[in-house]
Structure 1
Amino acid sequence: MKYTNAKKVLPEKLITEIQQYIQGETIYIPKPEMEYKPWGSRSGSRQWLDRRNAAIRHDFKNNIKIEQLAQDYFLSMETIKKIVYSAK
């Protein structure tokens, strides 16, 4: 989060209005919801996990046992079960 002095970006009238509610404190103004990006979309993490999980499901359908998948992918058996039994 970046700090910006309100006097540099907001009109004086708006600053005066805000001062009726809060003074001398830091206030966070969130972006509009339409500008939020889903988790991992910028870094590519989401796509990587989706590909990994698809590979796990593929291997499971090809009769690779859960225990073996857990070892191959360095995940717990419970995590593998969540992936292979999910509705995707």
Structure 2
Amino acid sequence: MSYVKAEDILPKELIEAIQQYVDGRSIYIPTKERQDWGTKTDTRRFLKERNEEIYESYMQGLSSHELAVKYALSIKSVQRILRNQRMARMDRAE
């Protein structure tokens, strides 16, 4: 993230009003239109495919521990993925 000087883009009156609340400190101003996580990259798709693969491997007999080692995850993470995949499949079946 790059920073922009407020003096370069905001009117002096607005800067003075903001200084009443955050004089000299950095603040984050979010964008108007918030984008969902993972929309700019393939990460969301990658994780979805990985999690489905983990579930399929579990259904074929691999243990949580084996999956944790194979995917470099904690056992708790694998268990969370399995639980979420099971719930998602139950929702789709309804």
Calculate the TM-score normalised by the size of structure 2.
0.63
Aligned to 1:10: 10
Instruction: Name whichever structure is richer in helix by fraction.
Output: 2
**Shift in alpha-carbon separation, 1:79–1:8, aligned structure 2, 3 A:** closer
Q: Please list every run of 5 or more consecutive structure 2 residues that lacks an aligned counterpart in the other structure.
A: 89-94
After TM superposition, list the pairs within 5 Å mapping 1:63-82 onto structure 2.
63-82=61-80
Aligned residues: 86
**Shift in alpha-carbon separation, 1:21–1:67, aligned structure 2, 3 A:** closer
Aligned to 1:34: 33
Amino acid at match of 2:5: N
Q: Distance in 2 between matches of 1:44 and 1:2?
A: 23
**Shift in alpha-carbon separation, 1:60–1:33, aligned structure 2, 3 A:** farther
Q: Please list every run of 5 or more consecutive structure 1 residues that lacks an aligned counterpart in the other structure.
A: none
Amino acid at match of 1:31: P
Calculate the TM-score normalised by the size of structure 1.
0.66
Aligned to 2:92: none
After TM superposition, list the pairs within 5 Å mapping 1:48-59 onto structure 2.
48-59=46-57
